[in-house]
Structures are given as C-alpha cells and as structure tokens.
C-alpha cells in the first residue's frame, strides 16, 4: 500500500464577473416586464405577481457579492437570462475540457509534473456537457496523458469523492499519479428567473494532482491522512434534466429541468449531518477538532459554513480557520472547496492538520483529512522550532533555499551526548544550516544558535521511546522545549514515504527509526 499526497492544485477562473447589482438590475427588469405583460391575470388572481430582488437581500441570504461566469451578456439579457455558449464542432475542445485544461496545467506546474507522470484523469463535477465520450478522456487527449479517464457525478460533493477514488487507485498501485478536475458551468443549469436561486451559482474549474508520496517533489504537498464519504437520498436538491426528457414532451422546458431546491430544508438537514460526519471522521483517526487548523468547506452559503464550524469547534471560527471565497466566486458546486483550498494553503506551517469537505445534492458529504508536509529537504523540526521567532516564509529566500541541504548522521561510538551525559543507546544528530532556528540540548533547554542547529538526544529505555512515540503519533506536533518530540519529528520526516501519521504506519516508522536513524530498541 502506497501513502498518498495531494501535490498540486490549479484554478481556472472565467474572465467575466457579474456583481449582485448587475444581476439584480437584469432580474428586476424581467420582473417588471412579466408583471406588465400579465397585469390582467394578476388582477384576477390567476397569476402570482413576481417580486423584485435586491443586492442587499442576496448578500444577507448567502454571503455572495459577485460571481465569475463563462458568458455575461446572455445572462444579463432580460429577454434571454441564460449564458450564450455557441455549440462547438467535434474537432474543437468542449467547453468543460477547455476549462479543465486551464486548471490542470496550473496543478501540474505546482506539482512539478508533466503529462508523462500522470496515469489517469477523473472529471468529477455536478453536470456533464454530454453523455459520451467522457470529458475525462477528452482532457486526457488534450494534455497528452496516457492511461485511463472517466467521469463521475456526485453533485457538489464530486471533488471529495473524486479525491478518495484517486487515492484508492494510487494506494493499490494502479497508478502513480491521477489528475482530478472539476469543471463547473453552473450558470448553464441555473434558473435566472427564480428570485430564490438566481444568484447562487458561478462558473469555475479546479484541478488536483493526487500521487504517491514517495514520488512527490512539490513544495505544496499535503498528506491524505484519511477520507470518509456519506450519501442519503433526498429530493430537496434536484435537477430533472436528462436524455429521457424528449420522451415526455409536456415536461420540456419546465422549471424542474434546471436547478431547484428547498433551501430551508437543506440548511436544516445538511448542516448537522456535515458537522457530525467531520467530527466522527476526526475521532476515528484519534484526532481532536481543536487540532484542525483550517476547514476548507463547500462554498454554498456563508451561514451554513458558520454553523457547521461552530458545531464542531463550539465557537465561531475565524476567517483563517474557515476561509471564504463564495463572496467573489459564489457557489461553484464541486469546485468551491478546492478553490478555498487552492487559495488558502500557503500560509499553513508544516505539520498543520486541515479538513477539506464538500456536501450537496444526494444528499452527499465528503471529508478529507489533510496534513501539510514539509517540502522535501526541510524538516518538521525546523518548521516547529523556529515557530516562536519566524516561519519559513519569514526566512529570506537566500537562507530558505539552503534548507534542503541539511544532513543527518547517526553514531553509536560516542558514549556521551553534547552535555557530557551518558548515552548508552546511541544518539541522533542533525545539522540544518539556517540562522533562524534553535539549538536543543539533551536536557531540553533551547539556546539561540546562529550557526545552525544540532540535535543530540538519546532515549534511555525502550519503554520511554514507545511511550513518547504513542503520544507523538496521536498528535505529531513537536513541542519546542521537548527534545524527545523533536527526535520523533526527525524520525517521521526522515523518510518521505511516511506520509500519514496513523496506526497503519506505526511499525514502518519504528523500523525506519531503527534502521535509518539508529534508534536502538
């Protein structure tokens, strides 16, 4: 079984944006015309008059201020109120393929990969442009990727379901790396004449590179610690458009052939389900909610996200803990949580725990527990040890660039550590050439060491090692003043294959610590 990481993400954002004010102006023009055209029927009570919308109402109800769209003119035309996307010939890349390519190329670049490194493509989104051939196979052809490709649809949860599907294939050795893309033209299935939903969606595409941990070289790596999925049937979010519509002419063009939802029911039912699933997922992995530094949630509604995180944390979340992108992107269905992840990951220190979660029609919910890796050559100790004085981002590039040059060596010939104390079971020493770090001595006292950092530490007994190892495995965040934790951090970081700090790698870590680092047990 291979450990798996996310090593790169990408985002395609359409060139056009529509503000709430622009959308409302178009909608209210339509409302005025509809009410005028149906004035007599409205007066007789045969037709219900439409109500105008407002930018303030939209922002209060959803948190959305604007959205990116593939076509602006058609949506804002009161006589049309739908995107205008001309049909393309079979010799041209489809709209979804074009969007997917834009996101995929960025993800490949961030992951440091080429098409030759990818063995599969998954297109996971809420609405596919056609039945066949699969959009994924078209993307595969456009990028020059060998292997396989297939489409999947789990509505707004498609990205997390796609990540688990890709991770499973990689764990089993069926692929080295998989490109998972989420091209969403949500405005194509949105009823812009419906006051309750005309503002909800925007268009975008995201891409994620999932690959074997031992092959990853990117500085944007996140261990996939665990994934968890849940589905429960509900009609509260539905779209009845499909190939059988032509077999029942009376239903063609009906409102239910576009996005429809019972918004209040969705809010009431989905929020507790999501919070419960994430909480259970963390508990199953012996992790506390308080350990999670960031929640990248599905970007459907600001109040929903606030409530979900509050149920988990027992308090309101900060903007850093639960970042928001729906104010400018609106609901981009499966792409939303990945956009949040893509735009709000670089500031997290190495070792940080996070949750990527999406939820929507079905009902469907996906949770992915992630842990940010040290980029190859850096050490988790380095990241944590300098936390009180600086972070990697604070180190000048000339110094940060030297971090990968650290070396490690083990010696069992000395009988004392650097304080002259007995070291009967050997010691572990690491040199990191950066002046931003600290020196940890055998008794746990920290001293500033401008020349670098030197760790010399011994575990006196096997029982001591096992005790500290168990604690560290449950919460792998080394304390600055605890050299035992620092050593364990080195053990975990010493082999890049040790991706997930979970029960299934305990023996591998122990073996690696014994064989590679000379921990005598």
pLDDT digits (tens, 9 = 90+) for 324-365: 999 999 999 999 999 999 999 999 999 999 999 999 999 999
Residue 185 pLDDT greater than 80, yes or no? yes
What is the average per-residue pLDDT within 9-21?
98
Integer Cα distance of 365 and 270 in angstroms:
9
| DSSP three-state, residue 441 | coil
How, if at all, do strands 353-360 and 292-297 pair? parallel
Nearest C-alpha neighbor of 211 from the set 181, 160, 166: 166
| DSSP three-state, residue 181 | strand
- 485 falls in which pLDDT band (50, 70, 90)? low
In sign, the C-alpha dihedral spanning 315, 359, 500, 111 is negative
- 1 falls in which pLDDT band (50, 70, 90)? confident
Q: What is the pTM of this model?
A: 0.74
List, in order of start, the domains of the chain with CATH numbers.
4-221 (3.40.47.10), 249-372 (3.40.47.10), 380-515 (no CATH)
Residue 417 pLDDT greater than 70, yes or no? no
CB 4, CB 504: distance < 8 Å: no
Integer Cα distance of 366 and 341 in angstroms:
15
Integer Cα distance of 297 and 341 in angstroms:
9
What is the average per-residue pLDDT within 62-82?
98
| Tens-digit pLDDT profile for residues 433-458 | 332 223 233 333 333 333 333 333 33
In this structure, what token pair is assigned to residue 519? 């921990």
**Percent of the chain's residues with pLDDT above 90:** 70
Nearest C-alpha neighbor of 298 from the set 455, 126, 451, 177: 126
24: how many CB neighbours lie within 10 A of its CB? 20
Half-sphere exposure of 375 (CA within 13 A, CB side): 20
The reported pLDDT for the residue numbered 476 is 54
156 is annotated as an active-site residue: yes
Cα–Cα distances in angstroms (integers) from residue 479 to residues 110, 290, 428, 430, in the given order: 31, 16, 18, 17
Residue 298 pLDDT greater than 70, yes or no? yes
b/e map 71-86, b = 16+ CB within 10 Å: bbebbbebeebbbeee
The active-site residue out of 97, 125, 156, 271 is: 156
The reported pLDDT for the residue numbered 182 is 99
Residue 478 pLDDT greater than 70, yes or no? no
342 forms beta bridges with none
For the chain, counts of helices (H) and of strands (E): 16, 18
The reported pLDDT for the residue numbered 160 is 99
**Percent of the chain's residues with pLDDT above 70:** 72
């Amino acid at each position: 079984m291979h450990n798996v990481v996310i090593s790169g993400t990408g985002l395609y954002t359409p060139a056009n944006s529509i503000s709430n004010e622009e959308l409302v102006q178009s909608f209210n023009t339509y409302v005025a015309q509809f009410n005028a055209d149906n004035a007599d029927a409205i007066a007789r009570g045969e037709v219900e008059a439409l109500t105008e919308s407002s930018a303030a109402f939209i922002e209060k109800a959803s948190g959305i201020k604007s959205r990116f769209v593939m076509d602006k003119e058609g949506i804002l035309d009161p006589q049309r109120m739908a995107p205008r996307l001309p049909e393309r010939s079979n010799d041209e890349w489809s709209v979804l393929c074009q969007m997917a390519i834009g996101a995929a190329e960025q993800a490949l670049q961030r992951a440091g990969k080429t098409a030759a490194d990818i063995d599969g493509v998954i297109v996971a989104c809420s609405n596919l442009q056609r039945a066949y051939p699969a959009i994924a196979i078209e993307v595969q052809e456009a990028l020059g990727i060998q292997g396989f490709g297939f489409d999947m649809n789990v509505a707004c949860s498609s990205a997390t379901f796609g990540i688990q599907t890709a991770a499973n294939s990689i764990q089993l050795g069926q692929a080295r790396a998989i490109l998972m893309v989420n091209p969403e033209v949500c405005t194509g299935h949105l009823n812009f004449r419906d006051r309750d939903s005309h503002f909800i969606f925007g268009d975008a595409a995201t891409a994620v590179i999932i690959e074997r941990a031992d092959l990853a070289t990117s500085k944007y790596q996140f261990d996939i610690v665990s994934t968890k999925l849940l589905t429960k049937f509900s009609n509260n979010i539905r779209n009845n458009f499909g190939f059988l519509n032509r077999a029942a002419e009376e239903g063609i063009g009906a409102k239910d052939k576009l996005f429809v939802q019972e918004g209040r029911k969705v809010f009431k039912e989905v929020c507790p389900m999501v919070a419960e699933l994430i909480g259970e997922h963390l508990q199953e992995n012996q992790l506390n909610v308080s350990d999670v530094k960031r929640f990248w949630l599905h970007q459907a509604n600001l109040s929903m996200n606030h409530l979900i995180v509050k149920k988990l944390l027992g308090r309101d979340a900060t903007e850093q803990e639960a970042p928001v992108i729906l104010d400018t992107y609106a609901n981009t269905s499966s792409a939303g949580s990945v956009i949040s992840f893509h735009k709000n990951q670089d500031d997290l220190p190495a070792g940080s725990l996070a949750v990527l979660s999406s939820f929507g029609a079905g009902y469907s919910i996906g949770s992915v527990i992630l842990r940010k890796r040290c980029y190859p050559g850096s050490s988790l100790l380095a990241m944590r040890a300098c936390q009180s004085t600086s972070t990697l981002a604070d180190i000048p590039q000339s110094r940060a660039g030297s971090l990968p040059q650290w070396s490690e060596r083990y010696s069992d010939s000395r009988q004392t550590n650097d304080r002259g104390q007995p070291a009967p079971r050997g010691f572990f020493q690491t040199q990191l050439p950066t002046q931003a770090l600290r020196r940890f001595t055998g008794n746990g006292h920290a001293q500033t060491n401008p020349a670098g950092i030197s760790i010399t530490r011994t575990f006196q007994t096997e029982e001591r090692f096992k005790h500290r190892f168990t604690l560290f495995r449950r919460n792998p965040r080394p304390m600055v003043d605890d050299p035992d934790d620092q050593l364990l951090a080195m053990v975990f970081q010493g082999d890049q294959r040790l991706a997930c700090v979970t029960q299934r790698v305990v023996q591998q870590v122990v073996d690696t610590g014994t064989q590679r680092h000379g921990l005598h047990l």
